[in-house]
Amino acid sequence: MAILLDTDALHPSERSAALQSVLTRATAPHALTLLGPAARIHARLEHWQLDPDVAVLRQTSSGIRHTRSERHARRDGPERVVFVLHEGSAGSYVHDGKTYPLRHGNLYVTDLNSCYSYLRLGYGTARIVQIERAALGLSAEQVQTAAVRLTESPFFNLLRAHIAELCDPDPRLDVGDRATAGVVTAHLASTMLQTVTVDGDMMRQPNDYLAERVLIFLRDNLDRSDLTAAEIASAHGVSTRYLFKQWSSCQTRTLARTLLRLRLEEASRLLSGSAGLPIETVAHRCGFGDTSTFDKHFRAEYKMTPSQYRRGGAYADADRKT
């Protein structure tokens, strides 16, 4: 991650203002105060842009208070939604006028154009993912409705674990992996919010979301050439037979064909956006054991070789789909 700010180089009297300035640019206009004895307040802010729609922030600091008031809300903020994994001491979170306790390891969500308050009394870390609301496919009202029901979603723990890993202090993602992580993160976040935006939707049982969870799992494991249906089923606590039965009841493609399609879509994206990435590397990242297998499937789908696609075939593919 790139370090946006480390206040240790600043005089204590300048630290809150410096962090507020940097965070306002990175998130939305709001008031910020670092808490504690003046000589001991500090903050470190790191940032990583996964793709145009998804950014990761990691904020470690002494006690802190963030407040976006009605006055701030008169100035439109960015059309983004922020997902905060709280790690640290106790505090409180105010959402739509209601106060909730901050709990270590819990996940909090808010639309950056809303009013909110976040107070952590002592040292801690916030692992933060920001996603453009358009990439989630939800309105600000839907996000705010879902924000107080997150734990009801069968995807809550999955997203929480994903953000914890994504915001690791030493993530090992290069440019191609970063873009893939952005797509997976936005899809998982959107799915979680959608399961708790409609009253009565949670009458469905977790296995009713099996297909959605499997799709997320597949996108997150595209580089695994050895991925099997038995392993996919085991990862979701069901038998292979049940997996196939549930999948066929709601999907038009077979599980194998879906996985192949996802691999090829990811390959086409990497070929279009990573000019310096060798074809062999693209093949392996997308779960093809060798380049000849990759070439065969790519030709069948796109009517050209991966090299031809990279040299301009993306335009031909766009024409083919319209």
Q: What is the CATH number of the domain that holds 300?
A: 1.10.10.60
Structure tokens of 179?
């873009």
In a domain, 215, yes or no: no
177 vs 285: CA distance, rounded Å: 8
198 and 243 co-located in one domain: no
- For residue 24, pLDDT beyond 90: no
SS3 281: helix
Alpha helices in the chain (DSSP H): 12-26, 70-73, 133-136, 140-147, 156-166, 175-194, 210-220, 229-235, 240-250, 255-273, 279-285, 291-302, 306-308, 314-321
Higher pLDDT, 101 or 72: 101
171 and 303 co-located in one domain: no
In a domain, 221, yes or no: no
95 and 175 co-located in one domain: yes
pLDDT category at 174 given cuts 50, 70, 90 is low
- For residue 280, pLDDT beyond 60: yes
**Taking each helix axis from N to C terminus, what angle separates 175-194 and 140-147, rounded to the nearest 10 degrees?**
80
pLDDT at 11: 93
In a domain, 297, yes or no: yes
**Residue that has been written with the tokens 């933060």 in this structure:** 128
106 and 196 co-located in one domain: yes
In a domain, 68, yes or no: yes
245 vs 258: CA distance, rounded Å: 15
The domain of 81 spans 2-204
**Residue that has been written with the tokens 């939305």 in this structure:** 28
100 pairs with which residues across the strands? Answer: 93
193 vs 158: CA distance, rounded Å: 12
Our count of domains for the chain comes to 2
In a domain, 16, yes or no: yes
133 and 189 co-located in one domain: yes
In a domain, 26, yes or no: yes
159 and 243 co-located in one domain: no
130-136: average pLDDT: 92
- For residue 49, pLDDT beyond 70: yes
In a domain, 222, yes or no: no
Q: Running DSSP on this structure, what letter comes out for residue 74?
A: T
- For residue 321, pLDDT beyond 50: no
73-95: average pLDDT: 86
- What is the DSSP pairing of strand 43-51 with strand 54-61? antiparallel
Tens-digit pLDDT profile for residues 237-267: 788 988 898 888 888 889 999 999 999 999 9
Residue finishing a domain among 204, 238, 258: 204
Among 21, 16, 22, 17, CA closest to 3? 22
Does this model's pTM top 0.85? My answer is no
16-25: average pLDDT: 90
81 and 179 co-located in one domain: yes
2 vs 20: CA distance, rounded Å: 18
197 and 49 co-located in one domain: yes
Q: Which H/E stretch holds residue 97? A: none
Q: Running DSSP on this structure, what letter comes out for residue 62?
A: S
157 vs 225: CA distance, rounded Å: 26
Q: What is the CATH number of the domain that holds 119?
A: 2.60.120.10
In a domain, 211, yes or no: no
166 and 261 co-located in one domain: no
194 and 237 co-located in one domain: no
73 and 175 co-located in one domain: yes
Among 203, 77, 81, CA closest to 145? 81
Alpha helices in 36-155 (DSSP H): 70-73, 133-136, 140-147
289 and 158 co-located in one domain: no
145-149: average pLDDT: 89
Contact (CB, 8 A) for 85 and 107: yes
